[in-house]
A and B are shown apart, each in its own frame.
Chain A
């Protein structure tokens, strides 16, 4: 290459690099401006209910459960508290993919140090229009530059938010649980019929699962897999895939879709679903959560905090929660 050509090449390459850096700075700047200042729905946080743990006292949770909407509808941590004094939180996002589970786990660990992390395994098979690879990239980029997730907040951002003023975190007495009293029975086939087939976990989803488990192990947290009753998204081939992985890594796997487990919990598809087999209603969530409380208290020796002064707020939350599940008040976004 001729000297002047080389100079021109270096100059142009530098220009491109500087422009890329400028783009990164712009993304960073816009992210700082538009990132919600609170974990509440009115503060602009997406999937705010899954992020209610920001409103809990630091390092106060025993259990963090991570998963999709099946988890948010089927696991009520307050039932564990009421029966065993275990402080848990349901971090359930609609249509969560396993790479999003990893990111949410990392968020939880910024302010909590749970003893047990439960993964709702439906996320491994979450159908994504764009496939696991593009979903992985999308999740990573969104976390790197939150403006890509919150760009629409230009419509509602206030001056005080622009000045960077932090708001008081939203406190959720439901602990991530999404209440529903609706009842629509599932009357379909036996979706857990015996089969020798095993559904393969996608290779990219598997990498994210490994990462999820490793993060927990490195932090000294016990991992547990759980599958909520779900007639529309679960089957025996998926159970086998998760069970094999769990046994190879020595991880407990509770599948509430298995017949013997259903018998133990008393779960009934005629009375315990809110939408005909996809999500649970309160009746179903209570059965699952009570059984889970007994299991966790027994097998994981979790401390009863009910007499612990540090958990005084939880006792107050019980009455707020009861008002919701008794139908006295509606569950709203920003209860404090």
Chain B
């Protein structure tokens, strides 16, 4: 079920809000759980079993780890130092086995369903070229909705329990709700147990302000998704469907419009789900923070798909950075190479796994691996040349905080991100290479023959400008909803009514426009 469908907006959300607030406070979580499973079943049918496997496995796994911990805690005071150490090591070993099993089951399921085709195709190609006689069978596999998102939430939960950062949840319903909440299940944000489980489970009273703010956020999300992203999709699919027909300005335009599409699509859906959560008094984590005002690639990834970046940081970057092998690598580099490389190499080693995971998380294809490596190389470049960049500022006397220089940094990051988006959208690496080179050739193709008429292009331009203005205001710390709320009712309602009419009239839906599934729902 799409978040922009009438069924979701008028019936599902409407019915759920009414049922939720009619239910006694302590039972309200049951409405959310029932609604979430109904939502999932409508979208995935029998594949709901995979969500249940994940939920049951991490529920039992966390309880088993807690039992181990409690058994140790109950005797620890009575133990001698040496025995305590040995018993603790044994307990930690058992907990490690459990968490490893949980990660293997869940990540294994995700890996099998998502990457088997990619893996088998590559193994078979290699086997054929080397005459090894290896032939992995072709399997008909279907991906359950949101598996890439809820698996990370589930794995994060068991690792947190293993680390002792979170207590194991004894309430199966609460855990099931955390992993299935309809606002997060399709395309995130990747929720953390500590942030979401408690507040989703807890019954909330009607909070008028939060409720109306939620409705406004849904409107803004619908505008981004339906008016901008789905309209941009027409131009993007026209150019990327036959990239060899276009070159020069048209390819550059398609690249920028795709960046607009993916941002308006993903951020728009995030605003719809955050607004939906607010209707129930739930605060859904932010996933975007004006990413296109970033001054560096690192900052961009702290502002774009923030929950994914944070997950990789907590569950890949830190463990790898703090691993014994990596520490040794750092010491070796410091001693044999230079103090600077002694700092850079352990970070670079850990970042390699982060960017590799980031790439393949987005899809099972070599282009996604290249996508991750593209950002890895850019990040590495920044790390390696840090002393030289420092020297550059010193020698040239450029004021880092001056407006023109900040603008240059933003523009530079924007262009680098757009190249990354071109790689992300192109069908394959050779297609990306072809399109990239063709950008520097003479323009072929007419901008009015790319699936959008002049009216559509005008709507797209004005809409993008509106997004930019909203972004600038947010960057300045201005809460637009607060500002609107402080206006006299007549102005407020005129703004809401205009937004509503703009979505109805200018939305790229229905006849003449294809249905565009949320882009991140496929990852």
By a beta-carbon cutoff of 8 Å, the part of chain A in contact with chain B is: 12, 19, 22-23, 26-27, 30, 46, 129-131, 133-134, 137-138, 141-142, 147-149, 151-152, 154-155
Give the complex CA separation of A215 and B514 in angstroms.
32
30 contacting pairs across A/B (C-beta < 8 A) = A12-B208, A19-B493, A19-B496, A26-B500, A27-B504, A30-B501, A30-B504, A30-B505, A129-B515, A130-B2, A130-B5, A133-B42, A134-B5, A137-B5, A137-B6, A137-B11, A138-B5, A147-B504, A148-B504, A151-B504, A151-B505, A151-B506, A151-B507, A151-B509, A152-B510, A152-B513, A154-B505, A154-B506, A155-B453, A155-B455
Query: B510 contacts which chain A residues (CB < 8 A)?
Result: 142, 148-149, 151-152
Q: 1/0 per residue B1-23: CB within 8 Å of A?
A: 11001110011000000000000
Residue of B5, B512, B515 with most partner-chain A CB within 10 A? B5
Query: A138 contacts which chain B residues (CB < 8 A)?
Result: 5-7
Instruction: Assess whether A134 is in contact with B512, with CB atoms less than 8 Å apart.
Output: no
B511 interface residue (CB < 8 Å to A): yes
Q: Give the number of chain B interface residues (Cβ < 8 Å).
A: 26
Which residues of B337-382 are within 8 A (CB) of A? Answer: none
Mostly helix, strand, loop or mixed at chain A's interface?
A: helix
Closest 9 pairs between A and B when the two form their complex, measured CB to CB: A134-B7, A137-B7, A155-B455, A141-B6, A46-B511, A12-B208, A151-B505, A137-B6, A154-B505
Query: A26 contacts which chain B residues (CB < 8 A)?
Result: 497, 500-501, 504
Query: A129 contacts which chain B residues (CB < 8 A)?
Result: 515
Give the complex CA separation of A131 and B5 in angstroms.
12
Instruction: Assess whether A133 is in contact with B7, with CB atoms less than 8 Å apart.
Output: yes
Give the complex CA separation of A131 and B511 in angstroms.
18
- Determine how close the nearest CB of chain B comes to the CB of A143; give it in whole angstroms: 12
Mostly helix, strand, loop or mixed at chain B's interface?
A: helix
Q: Of all chain B residues, which has the CB nearest A135?
A: B7
List 12 additional contacts besides A134-B1, A138-B6; criterion CB under 8 Å.
A12-B208, A22-B497, A23-B497, A26-B497, A26-B501, A133-B42, A138-B5, A142-B510, A151-B504, A151-B506, A151-B510, A152-B510
Q: Of all chain B residues, which has the CB nearest A151?
A: B505
Instruction: Assess whether B6 is in contact with A131, with CB atoms less than 8 Å apart.
Output: no
Residue among B493, B505, B507, B512 making CB contact with A22, cutoff 8 Å? B493
Give the complex CA separation of A250 and B228 in angstroms.
51
Residue of B10, B455, B504, B506 with most partner-chain A CB within 10 A? B504
Query: A148 contacts which chain B residues (CB < 8 A)?
Result: 6, 504, 510
Give the complex CA separation of A27 and B7 in angstroms.
17
Instruction: Assess whether A130 is in contact with B7, with CB atoms less than 8 Å apart.
Output: yes
Residue of A129, A134, A142 with most partner-chain B CB within 10 A? A134
Query: A154 contacts which chain B residues (CB < 8 A)?
Result: 505-506
Q: Of all chain B residues, which has the CB nearest A131?
A: B42
Q: 1/0 per residue B481-499: CB within 8 Å of A?
A: 0000000000001001100
Instruction: Assess whether A149 is in contact with B511, with CB atoms less than 8 Å apart.
Output: yes
- Determine how close the nearest CB of chain A comes to the CB of B55; give it in whole angstroms: 24
Give the complex CA separation of A22 and B497 in angstroms.
8
Which residues of B1-60 are within 8 A (CB) of A? Answer: 1-2, 5-7, 10-11, 42
Instruction: Assess whether A152 is in contact with B496, with CB atoms less than 8 Å apart.
Output: no
- Determine how close the nearest CB of chain B comes to the CB of A7; give it in whole angstroms: 13
Give the complex CA separation of A30 and B500 in angstroms.
11
- Determine how close the nearest CB of chain B comes to the CB of A101; give it in whole angstroms: 18
Give the complex CA separation of A152 and B506 in angstroms.
7
Query: B6 contacts which chain A residues (CB < 8 A)?
Result: 134, 137-138, 141, 148
Q: Of all chain A residues, which has the CB nearest B456?
A: A155
Give the complex CA separation of A151 and B500 in angstroms.
13
Query: A22 contacts which chain B residues (CB < 8 A)?
Result: 493, 497
Give the complex CA separation of A30 and B501 in angstroms.
8
Query: B512 contacts which chain A residues (CB < 8 A)?
Result: 152
Give the complex CA separation of A137 and B8 in angstroms.
10
Query: A30 contacts which chain B residues (CB < 8 A)?
Result: 501, 504-505
Given A23-B500, A27-B504, A137-B6, do A152 and B11 touch, yes or no (CB 8 Å)?
Answer: no
- Determine how close the nearest CB of chain A comes to the CB of B209; give it in whole angstroms: 10
Q: Of all chain B residues, which has the CB nearest A12?
A: B208
Q: Of all chain B residues, which has the CB nearest A23?
A: B500
Query: B5 contacts which chain A residues (CB < 8 A)?
Result: 130, 134, 137-138
Give the complex CA separation of A31 and B453 in angstroms.
23
Query: A23 contacts which chain B residues (CB < 8 A)?
Result: 497, 500
- Determine how close the nearest CB of chain A comes to the CB of B167; give it in whole angstroms: 36
Q: Of all chain B residues, which has the CB nearest A8?
A: B208
Q: Of all chain A residues, which has the CB nearest B515?
A: A129
- Determine how close the nearest CB of chain A comes to the CB of B505; give it in whole angstroms: 5
